[in-house]
Amino acid sequence: MLIAGNWKMHKGPVDTREFCARLRARLHGFDGADVIVCPSSPSLHDAIGMLAATEIGVFAQNAHWAKEGPYTGEVSPWMLKDMGVGGTLIAHSERRQLFGETDESAALRVEGSLDAGLHVIACIGETEGEREAGETENIIRRQVEAIKTVVEDENLERLAIAYEPVWAIGTGRTATPDQAEEAHKLIKRLLKVPVLYGGSVKPENAEELLSQPDVDGALVGGASLEVESFAAICEAAARV
Ligand code: PGA
């Protein structure tokens, strides 16, 4: 089981140090699941330092595909690797919806991070309109196939997919365990990697979602911003 906390654009370096100190103490001795936090870029350095002596991993929230070059404002996955980042979150739906991420650019970013030696959590998921139009399966297939084309077999063990239905992100509306299971089963038929569920995961619903046979972990937004709720989700993962 893998539980990843996506902090989005929250927690600067000061809050990050405080949060990591408390998380470290709270999860001391915990080994029931792999735990990752994804701070925003200015806080990566502090998170890495604070969590260095723990098993808690630190991932960036995005990365470019090139090693270096004329890409003002972008971040090289090789530079992230150099600074001790363990992996990247790629193509979160907020990147797709608000910042023009496409299946093509998502694939390039996945490839760049894997080439740099990082782990990757690649995000996919349908919008509410797509689900209502009966397009969920087509969207999942299209998004997974785009990622699949760039992943070499030897890199598969460093890739996970996060299935995050867009209508469930930050809305308090969670996919039912059956909806999540159905999507995860399809994704795993297309690509043999762990699949995390994301979208309003909370301590109250985590155990039921994580109990589904094809749910291998969770990508947690809002509930990862508080030590207690994030730790409770990690503990739920350890119970299933
Ligand atoms: P949420 O966000 O848990 O706040 O719904 C999940 C995500 O965006 O990764």
CATH superfamily of 2-239: Aldolase class I (3.20.20.70)
Tell me, yes or no, if the pTM score tops 0.75. Answer: yes
Catalytic residue among 94, 126, 164, 235: 164
Residues with a CB atom less than 6 Å from ligand 1: 6, 164, 169-170, 198-201, 219-223
Task: Give yes or no: 101 in active site.
Answer: no
Tens digits of residue pLDDT in 32-42: 999 999 999 99
Domain range summary for the chain, segments of one domain joined by +: 2-239
How confident is the model at residue 45, as a pLDDT?
98
Closest protein CA for atom 7 of ligand 1: 221
Residue 92 known to be catalytic: yes
Q: Which of 64, 92, 119, 184 is flagged as catalytic? A: 92
Write the DSSP string, 76-128: -HHHHHHTT--EEEE--HHHHHHS---HHHHHHHHHHHHHTT-EEEEEE---H
Q: Which pLDDT band, with edges at 50, 70 and 90, does 61 fall under?
A: very high
Average pLDDT score over residue span 141-158 = 96
